[in-house]
Structure 1
Amino acid sequence: MPSAELGSVKSAMRVLDLFEYLRRWNAGQTHARIAAQLGIPKSSLTQLLKTLVCRGYLEYDPVSKGYFLGPAVVALGQRSAETRDLVSIAEDVLADTAHATRETCALNLLKGDVSEVVATASGSHRLHYTMRKGDTAPLYATSGGKALLAHLPEEMRRDYLARVSFEKITPRTIDSVPALEAELAEIARTGIAFVVEEFMPGIVGMARPILGRSGFPLAAVNIALPIARYDAALKRRCLNALEDAVLMLRERAGLG
């Protein structure tokens, strides 16, 4: 293994050792004590601690001169727990949504630059759209993906928009950053994302995000249906069912 790679591995191990050490004692630890207990040279430890404090993974108390686990570590663990809770309870809620609308619905999670279906319930019409666990799609092309993208922290959204490469999946797939930005602003304002034949010809989709306690989009609930059946009355019924689903999922997951 090249020396640079070995150095990166050593740095990663030091960060993990430090987090586990502070978690184990659940109390502030001084620079000198950390260096002695973990065997990290003081010069290397100084820069490591400064970086982690700057990023919010550690907090420093100037009175006791102790370092503690910071809010960024707590946020990582909280978000993971919140997401697991949502997935574990989603199927019953989706079944109720499918029953109320007779249309197919799903719970979608952010997975890099795509959204992934992690739970689904099929519609009861003979003609219905099928979504399966594990299905993925570009964030810009589906209602669930757009609902997630519109509610990402600004830094993450800017990073995505700076590097996104559009594929013209259908003739109606959005294909420019300015057009996507305008649509995301409207989704952020209303809390509802729509697509019409952007990912699949003949299919309409709509979605609402599920936000965690920090405001991060943990998931999105979407409904997908054939455009031949889509009218104002069905649109209202689906939007009401989505709102009910989000409220129920938040309540059952303890998100308030």
Structure 2
Amino acid sequence: MSDSPDYAAPAIDKALDILELLASSPSPLSQLEIATAVGRSTGQIFRPLMRLEKRGYLHRDRSSGLYQLSMRMFDLAHRQEPLRSLLSVAVPVMREVSATVAQSCNLGILDGDRVRIVAQVESPADFGFRVRVGALFDVATTATGMVLAAFSAVTGAADTVSTAFGGLDQERLTAIRKDGVFVLPDSAQPGITDVVVPILRSDSPEAVAALTVPYVATSYSPSSVDSARETASRAAREIQAALGI
């Protein structure tokens, strides 16, 4: 439990409750549905709804009165300079990777103790595996998460890694750092082999992101897992050089 004092800010809490609810909702919601879901009355959420709509964070359909998130938060997230620079450099290279191996690829970063997917390039083939941009995954149960943990700033000691990322195997992390690439059958998606390489800082063995090719083995696949590994490794080095960090 945090030792910092808990300063209540009811108005902010209401607004954040609304944003988090709509972000997780598969469809637009009415004012009553929002109020019920966040455990408040319609009167209590009226003003936050109006302010969020006025500031452009929510869109309200004029005919149905239903609320949904606008693109405002997506825009704010991508204004952050490090992420904007990373995406501008990485996405063109990722397109080349996808075209070369005829597989999709995605880019993940650490977001607290989880993995956040910040970019995705579709496979040009008829078969491929797609990961939604913005999706969150556990570090300890994904190949991308293990690579990011292996090359994170906290991997200096086993107990630190265990605390930060939920008990990852230190020997496996050491092996990943030694190899510089990680190939692992996806435990959640049969038939997919995750090929993951870190994108490192030039001045330290710390990853700013991880490039993942979720390799789908079919009779239509023109390239092998080894080819995907080599292509992804070259792409990671190219992105790293272009970032200049």
**TM-score normalized with structure 2 length:** 0.60
C-alpha displacement of 1:140 = 2.0
Read off the aligned partner of 2:172 and give its amino acid letter.
Answer: E
Gaps of 5+ in 1: 8-79, 166-175
Q: Which deviations, in whole Å up to 9, do the C-alpha atoms of 1:142-166 show, x marking residues without a partner? A: 222111111123358633413655x
Read off the aligned partner of 2:160 and give its amino acid letter.
Answer: D
Q: Is the 8 A contact 1:142 1:195 kept in 2?
A: no
Q: Give the Cα separation in 2 of the matches to 1:6 and 1:224.
A: 43
| Distance change in 2, residues 1:197/1:182 (3 Å) | same
C-alpha displacement of 1:85 = 1.9
Q: Does 1:94 align with 2:83?
A: no
Read off the aligned partner of 2:91 and give its amino acid letter.
Answer: E
C-alpha displacement of 1:229 = 5.8
Read off the aligned partner of 1:97 and give its amino acid letter.
Answer: V
Q: Does 1:146 align with 2:146?
A: yes
Q: Is the 8 A contact 1:192 1:207 kept in 2?
A: yes
Pairing 1:163-174 to 2, within 5 Å after superposition: 164-165=165-166
Q: Does 1:247 align with 2:229?
A: no
Q: Give the Cα separation in 2 of the matches to 1:6 and 1:132.
A: 35
In the other structure, the counterpart of 2:179 is 190
Q: Which deviations, in whole Å up to 9, do the C-alpha atoms of 1:113-167 show, x marking residues without a partner? A: 21111111111222211112111211122222111111123358633413655xx
Q: Is the 8 A contact 2:122 2:130 kept in 1?
A: yes
Q: Does 1:217 align with 2:172?
A: no
Q: Give the Cα separation in 1 of the matches to 2:205 and 2:98.
A: 27
Q: What is the aligned-residue RMSD (CA, Å)?
A: 2.9
Q: Is the 8 A contact 1:113 1:160 kept in 2?
A: no
SS at match of 2:199: strand
C-alpha displacement of 1:198 = 1.7
| Distance change in 2, residues 1:208/1:163 (3 Å) | closer
Q: Is the 8 A contact 1:105 1:222 kept in 2?
A: yes
Q: Give the Cα separation in 1 of the matches to 2:188 and 2:157.
A: 23
Q: Give the Cα separation in 2 of the matches to 1:192 and 1:95.
A: 20
Q: Is the 8 A contact 1:211 1:219 kept in 2?
A: yes
| Distance change in 2, residues 1:190/1:230 (3 Å) | farther
Read off the aligned partner of 2:177 and give its amino acid letter.
Answer: A
Read off the aligned partner of 2:189 and give its amino acid letter.
Answer: M
Read off the aligned partner of 1:146 and give its amino acid letter.
Answer: M
Q: Which deviations, in whole Å up to 9, do the C-alpha atoms of 1:68-99 show, x marking residues without a partner? A: xxxxxxxxxxxx85554212222111101100
Q: Give the Cα separation in 2 of the matches to 1:229 and 1:186.
A: 31
% identity of equivalent residues: 20
In the other structure, the counterpart of 1:199 is 188
Q: Give the Cα separation in 2 of the matches to 1:135 and 1:161.
A: 23
Gaps of 5+ in 2: 8-79
Q: Give the Cα separation in 1 of the matches to 2:198 and 2:5.
A: 39
Higher helix share: 1
Q: Which deviations, in whole Å up to 9, do the C-alpha atoms of 1:189-227 show, x marking residues without a partner? A: 101112212232221101111111333211011100224
C-alpha displacement of 1:228 = 4.4
C-alpha displacement of 1:100 = 0.6
SS at match of 2:172: helix
SS at match of 2:132: coil
Q: Give the Cα separation in 2 of the matches to 1:143 and 1:113.
A: 14
SS at match of 1:5: coil
